[in-house]
Chain A
Amino acid sequence: MDDFFVGGLSSQETESKAIKSEYDIIIIGAGPGGLTAAIYAGRSRLDTAVIEKLAPGGQIAVSDRVDNYPGFPDGISGEELTKRMEKQAKKFGAEFISDEVRSVSESKTENYFFVETASHGTIKAKSVIIATGADPVKLPVPEEEKFRGRGISYCATCDAAFFKNKVVAVVGGGDTAIADAIYLTKFAKEVIVVHRRDQLRAVKALQEEAFSNPKIKFQWDSVSVHVLGDNKVEGLEVENVKTKERTVLKVDGIFVAIGTVPNSGFVRGLVETTDRGFVVTDKNRQTSKPGIFAVGDVRDTPLRQVVTAAGDGAIAEFSAEQYIKSKERGV
């Protein structure tokens, strides 16, 4: 019976303030990148709003243990870590708005951006920081939609409890997949890691932990082709990429961690992105549109982690402040 209270209110501000029609900076997304930018913006005394569609914390909120964020030698849960960031951002004055941003556009006549939300209309900002992160890639099988929520899951911490003493598959071989596999052994009786190569991509520390866990088995060189079952998942058909041989794994659940897609659809056409949708920035984290910045997992960057998202957040806020000042001097 630990963690009754994971520390802080989730979606609502601790102080109820009316949402303004205009801010200095609007930060879109409250993962580690957005929250760090909000801490810096608050300390710079900029009028700051953070707009988050789900709950502050971002992807890392579902991780039960983060071992590589500096300052926490014993590890810290992603939830606790981001709750602390959220508290820190609120302490320095950032306002949190619970809503989804649908588009961003530029004023033709003034130095303003228009941030269009689903439920709170359009809000003006002198500068915008895109911190919308990424979502998991869907399992590429024809039955994905049918079984999503019926045995296919993208959140191990959320859904592991439904698979007590069951056999589950984890699809993927990176950090997230292997951390999920380890977490799932607390519930499932067997965890089969399905990976398309013959070795893992995850960091060595996680690999060692997984290899020494007797509940974890490996299905190497294999890709998922079909999910089987009537109403819920009963099996996963995999194909060996070398021999083309197909095997049915009898599993009750399938946890998917095969990469991410950036949440950049709402700014497509406004800022430059890569083929895969990652937002391109310069060293100041400024996008192709001056005044709009991008941080963290949504950005075209070689490493997508909490610490890099946080670093981006600090740089982007600094750059945004410079941008606002230069515009004010210019006007």
Chain B
Amino acid sequence: MEKLLKENDEKYIKDLFEKRLTDPVELVLFLESENGEKVNKFSAQYLPYTEEILKELVALSDKVKLTVYKDNPEKEKEYGVTHISALFVEGKNTDKNVIYYGIPSGHEFSSLLEDIIDVSNGKTELSTQTKLELQKITSPTEILVFVTPTCPYCPRAVRTAHQMAMENHNIKGIMIEANEFPEWSKKYNVYAVPKVVINDKEQFEGALPEDEYLKHVIKGAVNIILE
């Protein structure tokens, strides 16, 4: 396959990683063969590209490594993988809860870079207020963020979900590339992105500032500690 990252971008990312990464980060990628049970014909065509871009990315820093599990139901179960491809960003402030379903390309490639930086440093840019509020969530909470790679407002929605997951491991922050998972998108009536669904019961469309986003997450979380 031809290289996907341009030379300029490689230089930029290499430099960025050099300056900003402290601790190691592991990217865990799940793939299946074409007849695998968790792939569909739409996502299947992206798999080689997803693997390639991640390989090129990890080559740019010693601190980031890639683990690929292909057709590995045991590992899929351990990570709670439901669709393929699935990508987990693992490090000191995550626990199998910062997730990308489908290729992180276009605008979402920046989300991945920023996630890697946050996970390496073990901290997020969420406000103190948000961090405090998030600690009230004490039961499993899933934030699904449906995106398309051509949506400039989407990375913000993805990053907020991922940063919330980094702050509280009861939260799973999940990006879903809508083009690759039409059935999944249909299930939630996704016709505009970003669309955010929390625990299947609370949802909103469009990009919201952090404090309003948080209100929806708190509302969608099942068990919160009441003041």
Contact = CB atoms under 8 A, between A and B. Distances in A.
A149 B207 CA distance: 12
B153 A6 contact: no
B178 A10 contact: no
B110 A54 contact: no
Contacts of B210: 98-99, 118-119
A54 B189 contact: no
B105 A4 contact: yes
A4 B106 CA distance: 5
Interface in B162-214: 178-179, 185, 189-193, 195, 205-207, 209-211
A253 B191 contact: yes
A162 B13 CA distance: 32
Interface string B133-162: 000000000000000111111111001000
B152 A61 contact: yes
Contacts of B9: 4-5, 7
A15 B151 contact: no
A55 B150 contact: no
A43 to B, nearest CB: 22
B59 interface: no
Contact of A159 (B4, B109, B125, B193): B193
Contact of B195 (A62, A149, A155): A149
A65 interface: no
Contacts of B79: none
A151 interface: yes
Contacts of B105: 1, 3-4
B111 interface: yes
A3 B106 contact: yes
Interface residues of B, number: 50
A182 to B, nearest CB: 15
B5 to A, nearest CB: 6
A5 B5 contact: yes
Contacts, number: 134
B53 interface: yes
Contacts of A98: 125, 156, 210
A231 B189 CA distance: 8
B4 A4 contact: yes
B68 interface: no
B19 interface: yes
A158 B110 contact: no
Contact of A8 (B110, B156, B195): B110
Contact of A5 (B19, B109, B148, B191): B109
Interface in A134-181: 148-153, 155, 157-162
A55 B193 contact: no
A232 B185 CA distance: 13
A132 B20 CA distance: 31
Contact of B49 (A1, A16, A157): A1
A11 B159 contact: yes
B155 A4 contact: no
A199 interface: no
A120 B127 contact: yes
B209 A159 contact: no
A232 B192 contact: no
B212 to A, nearest CB: 8
Contact of B130 (A5, A119, A149, A253): A119
A14 interface: yes
A119 B152 contact: no
B117 interface: yes
B114 interface: yes
A71 to B, nearest CB: 19
Interface string B62-96: 00000000000000000000000000000000000
Nearest to A58: B152
A101 to B, nearest CB: 10
A312 interface: no
A57 B152 contact: yes
Given A157-B151, A162-B192, A54 B156 contact: yes
A62 B49 contact: no
B109 A119 contact: no
B192 A6 contact: no
A10 B209 contact: no
A47 B143 CA distance: 37
Interface in B29-65: 49, 53
B107 interface: yes
B106 A159 contact: no
Contacts of B4: 1, 4
A99 B179 CA distance: 30
Given A11-B114, A12-B117, A79-B152, A4 B5 contact: yes
5 contacts: A5-B9, A10-B159, A15-B19, A155-B151, A161-B150
What 9 A-B pairs are tightest by C-beta distance, nearest first?
Answer: A149-B205, A119-B127, A158-B151, A61-B152, A149-B192, A100-B209, A10-B110, A10-B155, A5-B109
Interface of A: 1, 3-12, 14-16, 53-55, 57, 61-62, 64, 79, 98-100, 118-120, 148-153, 155, 157-162, 231-233, 253
Given A162-B178, A253-B191, 17 more contacts: A5-B9, A6-B109, A6-B110, A9-B113, A10-B110, A10-B152, A11-B159, A14-B19, A54-B207, A55-B155, A149-B206, A153-B191, A158-B150, A158-B153, A158-B154, A159-B191, A161-B150
